[in-house]
Amino acid sequence: MCQVCLAVLAAAPAHAQEWSVAQKDVWKSVEAYWALDAKADVEGFMAYFDPSYVGWSYDSPVPGDKATVKKFITQEYQMSKTLVYDIKPVAIQVHGNFAFADYYYMQLVKNAEGKTEATKGRWTDILMKEGDRWMLIGDHGGRIRKAD
């Protein structure tokens, strides 16, 4: 319990800051694709991935493209269900039509065996503005696993 309190207190300054209009716009897209992911909406979620996307999760030995992501999330949606999630921005940088969003996530997922599992991790999303939407062109991060 004490670790949870420390994590909340350590994250408080990042959440207390005021975001610019541009930073809020970026975060709005991050929230939108996380909501689609939680609903297991493959097409809706993938609509936020630019065709040029290349990302590198902690679980993968090499970066993957949009087709690779779609293949794996489609399988994941068949094997598990997100029950609840929370995402917290830590830093958002906007440079013209490019942005970097660093954030922390926690989620409860029901796995294929019907067991509920708590996961947490962090992502850095690299986005490019296309029309009224920020599109993923890259990312890095994922689940943080306990040290053995």
In angstroms, the CA 145 to CA 119 distance is: 8
The pLDDT value given to residue 111? 94
The pLDDT of residue 17: 76
pLDDT confidence of residue 15:
52
Which tokens belong to 142? 């994922």
Q: What is residue 146's predicted lDDT score, i.e. its pLDDT?
A: 75
User: What CATH class does 18-143 carry?
Assistant: alpha beta
- pLDDT for the residue numbered 144: 94
Which residues are registered as beta bridge partners of 91?
102
Task: Give this prediction's pTM.
Answer: 0.86
| pLDDT tens-digit profile, the chain (148 residues) | 444 433 444 444 445 579 999 999 999 999 999 999 999 999 999 999 999 999 999 999 999 999 999 999 999 999 999 999 999 999 999 999 999 999 999 999 999 999 999 999 999 999 999 999 999 999 999 999 876 4
Task: Give the chain as a 3 state SS string.
Answer: CHHHHHHHHHHHHHHHCCCCHHHHHHHHHHHHHHHHHHCCCHHHHHCCEEEEEEEEECCCCCCEEHHHHHHHHHHHHHHCEEEEEEEEEEEEEEECCEEEEEEEEEEEEECCCCCEEEEEEEEEEEEEEECCEEEEEEEEEEECCCCC
Q: Which pLDDT value is given to residue 16?
A: 53
